[in-house]
């Protein structure tokens, strides 16, 4: 009999009475999701992350506009997502529109909703999805229990048996700050570096949301506080506010992208260069 592990941090998340989000127990997509996380938790190591930072951190692989990048997500279905099975570009507009409704005065926040998953274009550049999508976690220190499927999926990860990397603080100092922590490689860190490289003028709160929005073991599970500093604690409410829209705007009712595109193009023109290096 197959045993499926519950997401340990599920208890921290409110649920819509008609829809259970982040369902890792009996979602029809759970087999695909667990395979993605098993590969991720096996291969995401300190060495692997450093290699990817070296390769992609230069942001010199291609040039294109934000809208061109967004259109690429028409061809991407996130294999780590147990909630939906439609292209990621629709999720971008769903998130942005949810934020726009509740925060009409924060256009940069709305833009963050649109942009936050653009780093997933890595999966269309021959990167495996386990190195692009899904929840993130620090490498170089002990894997915490609130990481989804953590009880079974890290057993073949070499860092889990390393004399330093397997300890609580690992290679880090107490309260060193998340900006000084190596996170598992994926779309969050990649897009953050792209936006910084291209000198986008999104406020720091927005860049922080982008960089850590997939770090569920921290912003929802409550783990890794021993690595956080005062800045992280100050930014946490922003990440949690963003997470409400990232997670709870997912529905099968798809947005009218053609109608919405001109509004968001104006925001892109305000905060991001027209042609960006990726």
Binding-site residues sit at 22, 78-80, 91, 116-117, 120, 134-135, 187, 213-214, 246
Name which of 218, 197, 196 is nearest 206 in CA terms: 196
Neighbours of 143 (CB within 10 A): 23
Contact 46/188 with Cβ under 8 angstroms? no
Round to whole Å and give the CA distance between 29 and 32: 6
185 DSSP assignment: P
Residue 32 is encoded by which pair of tokens? 């695909």
Residue for token digits 């409400």? Answer: 244
Q: Which residues contact 20 (CB under 8 A, 6 or more apart)?
A: none
Helix (H) or strand (E) holding 277: strand 276-277
Phi-psi region of 157 (alpha: psi -120 to 50; beta: other; left: phi over 0): beta
Helix, strand, coil fractions of the chain, as percent rounded to 5: 50, 5, 45
Identify each DSSP E strand in 41-185 by its residue range.
63-64
Known binding residues for substrate: 22, 78-80, 120, 134-135, 213-214
Residue for token digits 């938790």? Answer: 41
Round to whole Å and give the CA distance between 231 and 212: 13
Residue 265 is encoded by which pair of tokens? 């193009």
Known binding residues for Fe cation: 91, 116-117, 187, 213, 246
Round to whole Å and give the CA distance between 7 and 19: 16
């Amino acid at each position: 009999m197959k045993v499926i592990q519950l997401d340990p941090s599920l208890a921290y998340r409110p649920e819509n009475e008609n829809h259970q989000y982040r369902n890792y127990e009996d979602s029809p997509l759970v087999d695909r999701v667990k395979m993605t996380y098993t590969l991720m938790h096996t291969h995401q190591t300190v060495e692997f992350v450093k290699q990817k930072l070296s390769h992609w951190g230069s942001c010199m692989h291609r040039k294109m506009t934000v809208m061109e990048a967004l259109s690429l997500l028409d061809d991407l279905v996130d294999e780590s997502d147990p909630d939906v099975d439609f292209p990621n570009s629709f999720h971008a507009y769903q998130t942005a529109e949810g934020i726009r409704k509740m925060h009409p005065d924060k256009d940069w926040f709305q833009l963050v909703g649109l942009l936050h998953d653009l780093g997933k274009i890595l999966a269309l550049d021959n990167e495996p999805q386990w190195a692009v999508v899904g929840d993130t976690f620090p490498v170089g220190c002990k894997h915490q229990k609130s990481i989804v499927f953590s009880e079974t999926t890290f057993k073949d990860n070499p860092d889990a048996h390393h004399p330093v990397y397997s300890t609580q603080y690992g290679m880090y100092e107490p309260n060193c700050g998340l900006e000084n922590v190596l996170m598992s490689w994926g779309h969050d860190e990649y897009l953050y570096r792209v936006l910084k490289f291209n000198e986008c003028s999104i406020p720091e709160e927005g860049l922080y949301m982008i960089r850590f929005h997939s770090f569920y073991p921290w912003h929802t599970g409550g783990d890794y506080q021993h690595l956080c500093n005062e800045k992280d604690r100050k930014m946490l409410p922003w990440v949690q506010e963003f997470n409400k829209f990232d997670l709870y705007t997912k529905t099968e009712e798809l947005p009218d992208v053609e109608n919405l595109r001109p509004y968001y193009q104006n925001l892109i023109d305000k905060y991001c260069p027209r042609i960006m290096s990726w």
